[in-house]
Structure 1
C-alpha cells in the first residue's frame, strides 16, 4: 500500500487508521467508511483520482482518522464505534481546532447517530463540522431511533454531499449546506468538486 497509517486503533466493533500530519493530532477529520469497506481500499479511494484528499489534508496540517465498520452491525453498534473513535480522537488531540466528523454510505448514518447520541447524553463531541456523503437511507426502526435523539446533531455545521439521482433520506432543509454533484470516477471516493468543497469548509 502506497500510503500506510501512522497508527491503528482497535475499537470495540471496528478499526481506525490514523494518518497524522504531525506528532499530535490537530483539527482532525474523522471519516467512517461504508459498512464492510476495507480500510486499505478506502484509503486508496481517497488518494487516487481527481481529489487526493488525504494529501490535501496533510498539506494543510490536518489529520485523517478512517473508521472501518463491520458489514452486519446495526445503527447503534456502528454509531457506538464512531463515538468511541471520536472520544479517543478528543483525548489525543492538541489545540482547540474543532473536529470534523462524517462518513459515506452507512458510515455517514453511523456518524450522524454517534454525534446526535452524544448531544442527547450531553457529551461534548468538540465537532465543528459534520458531513454526510451519499448517506444510507435509514430503515423505519433506525429512523425512529434517530428521531428519539433529535434526528441529527445540532451544534456542528452540517454539510451534505449527494450525487445526482441518489437518496439519503434527508429533507432538503435538514443540512446547513448541500452540494449535489456528479459521482466520482470509479475507484475514487470524492470527486474533485466534493473534495475541494469539504476542504474549504473545515472548521478553523
Structure 2
C-alpha cells in the first residue's frame, strides 16, 4: 500500500500528512513523531513493517494526521506545531467524535505540552484520549514549564505505552491505562500488541 498522504499541511514549525478513511476528516487521530522524523519516514514505519497500523486504523474508519517535527525546536516550538495541527483538525473535521492526540519520543512530549497548554488557556481541544509511546524524559526546564501548565492534560484519558526497560519520567500510576511490552520489530513503530491495544482504547 502506498504511504502517500491525501493532503499535506505546512505548519509553522513542522509538517503534517493527512490520511483519511473516507472523503474527509471525521474520526481523527493526531500522532506526532519523534524530533527529526519527517512524515514520510513516520508513515513508512506505520505501514511497511511487520504491523500495518495505518491500514488497520483506516479500516476501522479512523483518520490519521502525522505531525513531523524538526530536530531542535524545543518543547514550546514542538508543542506549538501539535497545537496548530489539533486546531486545524477541529476546524475541518465533520461530526463530533473526540480526537485522539499523542506521539512517540519527543512527539509524545510535544503532544502533552500542546494539550496541557490549551487547557491552561481554556481552549477546547476536543480530545478524548492522549496517548504516549516511549515519551522522551523532559529536562529540568521542560519539566518546570509542564508543571506550570498543570503537568499534563487532565481532560482526556491518558493511554501510556512503554517498552520494557524504557523510561519516560512518569510515575507508575500517572496514566489511566498502561501497556508495557516488548519493542516493535525493526522497521515498525508499533508492535501488533501496542497498535491493537491503542486502537481498541480510542474514544468513540
What TM-score range do you get, normalising by the shorter chain? over 0.9
Q: Give CA-to-partner distance per residue, 1:34-64, whole Å, 9 cap, x none.
A: 0000211110100123321110111111100
Could you state the TM-score of these two structures normalised by the residue count of structure 1? 0.98
Residue 104 (structure 1) aligns with: 104
TM superposition shift of 1:192: 0.5
Residue 113 (structure 2) aligns with: 113
Residue 134 (structure 1) aligns with: 134
Residue 50 (structure 1) aligns with: 50
Equivalent pairs counted in the alignment come to 204
Whether the aligned pair in 1 keeps the contact of 2:97 and 2:203 (CA below 8 Å) is: yes
Q: Equivalents in 1 of 2:192, 2:57: separation in Å? A: 14
Q: Give the CA RMSD over aligned residues.
A: 0.9
Residue 66 (structure 2) aligns with: 66
Q: Equivalents in 1 of 2:43, 2:3: separation in Å? A: 8
Q: Equivalents in 1 of 2:159, 2:125: separation in Å? A: 17
Whether the aligned pair in 1 keeps the contact of 2:34 and 2:105 (CA below 8 Å) is: yes
Whether the aligned pair in 1 keeps the contact of 2:69 and 2:78 (CA below 8 Å) is: yes
Residue 160 (structure 1) aligns with: 160
Structure 1: unaligned runs, 5 residues or longer: none
Q: Equivalents in 2 of 1:120, 1:180: separation in Å? A: 30
Residue 173 (structure 1) aligns with: 173
Structure 2: unaligned runs, 5 residues or longer: none
Whether the aligned pair in 1 keeps the contact of 2:50 and 2:187 (CA below 8 Å) is: no
Q: Give CA-to-partner distance per residue, 1:91-130, whole Å, 9 cap, x none.
A: 0101111000000000000000000000000000000010
Could you state the TM-score of these two structures normalised by the residue count of structure 2? 0.98
> Runs of 4+ in structure 1 displaced over 4 angstroms?
none
